[in-house]
Amino acid sequence: GAVVSQHPSRVICKSGTSVKIECRSLDFQATTMFWYRQFPKQSLMLMATSNEGSKATYEQGVEKDKFLINHASLTLSTLTVTSAHPEDSSFYICSVGTGADTQYFGPGTRLTVL
């Protein structure tokens, strides 16, 4: 399967600052990547579908101006949480979609907003 990395693995920031999370597909040219958010003891909730070279598609209820997604190459997608607040604290996980439906996940980024 695809090998996916994320950076950083953990980040702590102050309320009101912006945080950028990188998702890299190391061995697969990913035209599509997905961003999920997972709160403690909950399931993965899809935030948006990141398409290389075009605008991301956001799920209902996810603010596109708050969660900026850029997918400028076949190996890199970034998620920027703008003006982060404590309620944005969560585990953010990206995945790479292969053409055969299967998704492979990155190791996740734990965001803590103070």
Partner 1 sequence: GENVEQHPSTLSVQEGDSAVIKCTYSDSASNYFPWYKQELGKRPQLIIDIRSNVGEKKDQRIAVTLNKTAKHFSLHITETQPEDSAVYFCAASRNTGTASKLTFGTGTRLQVTL
What does the binding site for partner 1 look like in residue numbers (CB under 8 A)?
1, 30-32, 34, 42-46, 49, 93, 97-99, 101-108, 110
Using DSSP bridges, classify how beta strands 4-7 and 57-58 pair: parallel, antiparallel or unpaired: unpaired
Q: In angstroms, what is the minimal distance from the CB of 79 to partner 1?
A: 16
Q: In angstroms, what is the minimal distance from the CB of 52 to partner 1?
A: 11
- Residue (78 or 109) nearer to partner 1, CB: 109
Do the beta carbons of residue 78 and residue 70 sit within 8 Å? yes
- Residue (53 or 99) nearer to partner 1, CB: 99
Q: In angstroms, what is the minimal distance from the CB of 45 to partner 1?
A: 8
- Residue (2 or 19) nearer to partner 1, CB: 2
Q: How far apart are CA 14 and CA 34, in angstroms?
A: 26
CA 77 to centroid of chain Cα atoms: 8
Is the previous residue joined to 40 through a cis bond, with omega within 30 degrees of 0? no
